[in-house]
Amino acid sequence: MPHTTLPIALDAASGDHGAAPNVEGAVQAARAGVPVLLVGPRVALHAELGKHAGSASLPLTVVDAPDVIGMDEHASDVRSRTGASINVCTRLVKEGQAAAAVSMGHSGATMASALLTLGRVKGVDRPAILTHLPSKKGFVTLLDVGANADVKPPYLAQWARLATVYLRVVEDRQDPTVGLLSIGEEDHKGSQLVLEAHALLRELDGHGIRFHGNVEGRDIFQGTTDIVVTDGFTGNVVLKLAEGEAKVLFGWVRDALGGSLQTKLGGLLVRGALRGLAERMDPSTYGASILLGVRGLAFIGHGSADARAVKNALLRASRAHEANLIARLEAALAPQGG
Amino acid sequence: MPHTTLPIALDAASGDHGAAPNVEGAVQAARAGVPVLLVGPRVALHAELGKHAGSASLPLTVVDAPDVIGMDEHASDVRSRTGASINVCTRLVKEGQAAAAVSMGHSGATMASALLTLGRVKGVDRPAILTHLPSKKGFVTLLDVGANADVKPPYLAQWARLATVYLRVVEDRQDPTVGLLSIGEEDHKGSQLVLEAHALLRELDGHGIRFHGNVEGRDIFQGTTDIVVTDGFTGNVVLKLAEGEAKVLFGWVRDALGGSLQTKLGGLLVRGALRGLAERMDPSTYGASILLGVRGLAFIGHGSADARAVKNALLRASRAHEANLIARLEAALAPQGG
């Protein structure tokens, strides 16, 4: 069965570390039954593939696309560089030759390419980047984490509907709750944007979404709601703060454990338990974020992604495709679907 | 000397836990040489004072103000309830009978009262709440953390100047760097607000502030800059997320250490080291946040403040007064001070 499914198009030389982690992650995903199109400079990709014994028998195909948009180039380059690897990926999706496009490269370029090539789901003004963070309840789903620095109230309402469908279809959460990120739980608190979005979300409650009300920064790790909607500026700050804080706090824990002979001994004893925790906080666990609202599957990962992150992104993309996510999003956003 | 200095006016029955932590914190501050006016319901405050042996000989004076604005009441009540305890505190500052007003109560009411009674420093459009978070470099100074949900670019530039003076005068950091919170380090990234504020801050660089450029969420705990300026919506989300995340992560560390006999033993050995860390993250360490830009000293603490937080807030208020902070802020913001 797996070999007959549509492959995932991976922008395979993109990201901070180039082809190596991408190809290794693709090999792992292929071993798990997910076919992958490795899009990028042919020679470099074959060289990387050669390092993995037995990769020749896996469902992996190299698609030559020597032009890779670098991390420090402009997102707008996707318009003129039509042969750029990310454009090849999104075109493969558009033409029905790939189930999804996945890139660990320039996130702005990935967004621009996906939007230009695939267009938007009807009823969606702007696509948003949806990601997951660990929480006391397992994980919390946050959007937008950076696609739209300036937003309008209806965007937040649309994203709440999209994220609700996503959690139902891809993560099997049947009745997810939506929180609107604000600076107080009270309805009358917040920015002008939040006040107007609150009214729209209140109207949607029971019609496509389950609206909990406003939530605060502290509710994110508490997991007060399944979904937290916010503008792409605040969401991006939240994501980067959450990851940065975890890194610094775990560093302090490590330092604290290295302090004296007594704590060193204790540190050895607790090391395994703490490693489990660090893994829970590791962005690689979720692999990549989905660009939600585009009419086709597109995933954006960390530039620093390792092979595990790439593999998890490919598996997630495959799951979203098999669950028929795009059609389900379109149905939910269609006038009769509200 | 200490007994001849101007006392701090404490809104002594405010906050989630009423008079007990306020009075205990005031007793501790008074023992450290800071005289305090305990403003609130006379009988209740005397009853609390009676629990502390030797408090009669300390520089503590009760000022009767039976009307305390509750945590669930409206900030606008400060207008009509002129005798409310927070209004008594800010009037004592205005009249030169107190060096500063400190409240662990309703933060909106405290802001409104301070602004109405004390007015603004010339050249400041809107006061901001300035607070500290721990960072790899010791601590980072963040503003605004909630006074202004919607802001204009010049506010951010004014706050950068105020915070620079504050760090020089109260925290003895001679040449603090300013970062503008954004969603990318590049100058051209960010919301419309950030793009415009960036240009203003760039102009001020070398004239009152040292502008580092844009910083991201991850830079906060890294301590990339001494000061991070942002709007009060984003800043409040950052503050509450940072505190909430630390609480959840340390909870996970505790749980991980309680898992097996081996990790339990290890946990006993490392407990002291971790307690030091938890203290570093504890908001009580900094006591309270200053309302910066008001023409008089006003501090706002957590509703959940304990005696240690109250004491630290009173000591910090005393230090700001002795350093002549308000006059220094006025001088820096005056046309010739730029």
What domains can be seen in chain B, in order of their start residue? 1-121+293-324 (3.40.718.10), 125-284 (3.40.718.10)
Q: Tokens 């696309």 appear where? A: A65
Which residue(s) pair with A102 in the sheet? A10, A299
User: Residue A271's pLDDT is what?
Assistant: 66
Residue type (1 letter), A89: C
Residue B35 phi, psi (nearest 5): -70, 145
Binding-face residues of B in 181-220 toward A, CB within 8 A = 181-183, 189-192, 194, 216-220
| Segment (H or E) for A138 | strand A138-143
The answer to whether the beta carbons of residues A293 and A119 sit under 8 Å apart is: no
From the list A190, A221, A281, the residue facing B244 with the nearest CB is A221
Distance from CA of A142 to the nearest CA of B (A): 13
Binding-face residues of B in 125-164 toward A, CB within 8 A = 135-136, 146, 149-150
User: Residue A303's pLDDT is what?
Assistant: 85
Which DSSP symbol is given to B205? B
Cα–Cα distance, B107 to B119 (Å, whole number): 17
Whether A256 contacts chain B with CB within 8 A: yes
Pick from A6, A71, A78, A7: which is nearest to A39 by CA? A7
Average pLDDT, chain B: 91
User: Residue A4's pLDDT is what?
Assistant: 60
From the list A233, A246, A256, the residue facing B234 with the nearest CB is A233
pLDDT by residue (tens digit) across A282-297?
A: 666 667 899 999 999 9
Pick from B90, B95, B138: which is nearest to B112 by CA? B90
| Percentage of residues in chain B having pLDDT higher than 70 | 89
* Rg from Cα positions in chain A: 21
pLDDT by residue (tens digit) across B48-98?
A: 999 999 999 999 999 999 999 998 888 889 999 999 999 999 999 999 999
* Rg from Cα positions in chain B: 21
Q: Read off the tokens for A99.
A: 């189930």
Q: Is A32 left (phi over 0), alpha (psi -120 to 50) or beta?
A: alpha
Mean local confidence (pLDDT), A73-93: 95
A132-141, A301-310, B114-123, B264-273: least confidently modelled range: B264-273
Pick from B6, B7, B14: which is nearest to B86 by CA? B14
Report helix, strand or coil for B230.
coil
User: Residue B261's pLDDT is what?
Assistant: 56
Q: Read off the tokens for B224.
A: 């990339």
Distance from CA of B102 to the nearest CA of A (A): 22
Q: Note whether A135 contacts B274, CB cutoff 8 Å.
A: no
Pick from B174, B193, B173, B242: which is nearest to A240 by CA? B242
Q: Read off the tokens for B325.
A: 């902070």
Which DSSP string do the residues of A71-112 spell out, in sequence order? TTS-TTHHHH-TTSHHHHHHHHHHTTS-SEEEESS-HHHHHH
Distance from CA of A271 to the nearest CA of B (A): 8
Distance from CA of B6 to the nearest CA of A (A): 35
User: Residue A338's pLDDT is what?
Assistant: 42
pLDDT by residue (tens digit) across B147-178?
A: 999 999 999 999 999 999 999 999 889 999 99
Residue in B221, B250, B265, B302 to test binding to A, most A beta-carbons within 10 Å: B221
CA distances from residue A32 to A24, A311, A314, A318 in whole angstroms, order as listed: 13, 9, 10, 11
Cα–Cα distance, A26 to A315 (Å, whole number): 10
Mean local confidence (pLDDT), A203-210: 94
Q: Tokens 């300026």 appear where? A: B229
Q: What is the spatial order of strands in the sheet that A210-215 belongs to?
A: A60-64, A36-40, A8-11, A100-103, A297-300, A289-292, A128-135, A138-143, A227-229, A177-181, A210-215
User: Residue B126's pLDDT is what?
Assistant: 95
Cα–Cα distance, B148 to B156 (Å, whole number): 11
Q: Tokens 């939600």 appear where? A: A292
Does residue B338 register a pLDDT over 70? no
Cα–Cα distance, A292 to B173 (Å, whole number): 45
Q: Note whether A220 contacts B245, CB cutoff 8 Å.
A: yes
Mean local confidence (pLDDT), A163-175: 93
Which DSSP symbol is given to B3? G
Whether A257 contacts chain B with CB within 8 A: yes
The answer to whether the beta carbons of residues B230 and B146 sit under 8 Å apart is: no
Report helix, strand or coil for B62.
strand
Which DSSP symbol is given to B260? S
User: Residue B71's pLDDT is what?
Assistant: 86
Indicate the pLDDT class of residue A304, thresholds 50, 70 and 90: confident
Q: Read off the tokens for B26.
A: 């005031």
Cα–Cα distance, B11 to B69 (Å, whole number): 10
Distance from CA of A79 to the nearest CA of B (A): 19
Cα–Cα distance, A39 to A36 (Å, whole number): 9
User: Residue B288's pLDDT is what?
Assistant: 86
Whether B43 contacts chain A with CB within 8 A: no
Q: Note whether A237 contacts B239, CB cutoff 8 Å.
A: no
User: Residue A1's pLDDT is what?
Assistant: 40
From the list A252, A268, A272, the residue facing B277 with the nearest CB is A252
Helical ranges in chain A per DSSP H: 19-31, 42-50, 77-80, 85-94, 107-118, 153-170, 192-204, 217-222, 232-257, 261-281, 307-322, 325-333
For the purposes of burial, counting CB atoms within 10 Å of the CB of A76, is it exposed (0-12), middle (13-18) or buried (19 or more)?
exposed
Distance from CA of A143 to the nearest CA of B (A): 14
Q: Note whether B218 contacts A240, CB cutoff 8 Å.
A: yes
Peptide bond into B144 cis (omega under 30): yes
Q: Which residues of A13-49 are buried (b: 16+ CB within 10 A; e: fewer)?
A: bbbeebbbbbbbbbbbbbeeebbbbbbbbeebbeebb
Report helix, strand or coil for A207.
coil
Cα–Cα distance, A104 to A13 (Å, whole number): 9
pLDDT by residue (tens digit) across B182-197?
A: 998 777 789 999 999 9
Does residue B25 register a pLDDT over 50? yes
The residue in chain A having the minimum alpha-carbon distance to the alpha carbon of residue B266 is A266
The answer to whether the beta carbons of residues B313 and B102 sit under 8 Å apart is: yes
Whether B280 contacts chain A with CB within 8 A: yes
| Segment (H or E) for A299 | strand A297-300
User: Residue B236's pLDDT is what?
Assistant: 95
From the list B237, B260, B270, the residue facing A263 with the nearest CB is B270
Cα–Cα distance, B181 to B142 (Å, whole number): 10
Q: How many CB pairs under 8 A join A and B?
A: 190
Q: Note whether B181 contacts A274, CB cutoff 8 Å.
A: no
Q: Note whether A256 contacts B268, CB cutoff 8 Å.
A: no
Indicate the pLDDT class of residue B255, thresholds 50, 70 and 90: confident
Residue type (1 letter), A297: L
For the purposes of burial, counting CB atoms within 10 Å of the CB of B210, is it exposed (0-12), middle (13-18) or buried (19 or more)?
middle
pLDDT by residue (tens digit) across B11-22?
A: 999 999 999 999
Distance from CA of A208 to the nearest CA of B (A): 27
Judging contacts by C-beta atoms under 8 Å, the chain A residues touching residue B240 are 183, 216-218
pLDDT by residue (tens digit) across A137-152?
A: 889 999 999 999 999 9
